[in-house]
Structure formats: C-alpha cells, structure tokens
Amino acid sequence: MNIITMMKLESGMCRWPIGNPEDKDFHFCGEPREPSLPYCETHMRKARAPTRKPKDS
C-alpha cells in the first residue's frame, strides 16, 4: 500500500485528505488528477456533491 503523506504529495496528485490530520496514518488520496482540478475524478464528485438536498417548494 502506498501512503501519500504531505512529503510525498506532488503536483498532479489528488490532495483529498484521508483520515484525521491528527492521526499518524493521515495521508492524501494521491490518484492522478486533471491539471486544472485539485482532486481526482472520484473526489471531485464528492467535493461537488451538495451537502443538503435542494428544496422543491
């Protein structure tokens, strides 16, 4: 298993945080991402997902 820590995180890698920053096994996703996006496709979807459902009134 490849753990992407802050030290290993490079540009071009998904910087989605995994785990609790206070834990020593905290790391980043590290999947390849689009140059214009901060996260990989999976995590872009998560980031874009609405936190609440739109009300239809």
CB of 57 to Zn ion, least distance (A): 35
Q: What is the DSSP string of 1-57?
A: ---B-TTT--TTB---EES-TTSTT-EE---B--TT-SS-HHHHHHHHS-SSPPP--
Binding site for Zn ion (CB under 5 A): 14, 16, 29, 31, 40, 43
Of 27 and 53, CB closest to Zn ion = 27
Of 23 and 33, CB closest to Zn ion = 33
CB of 18 to Zn ion, least distance (A): 8
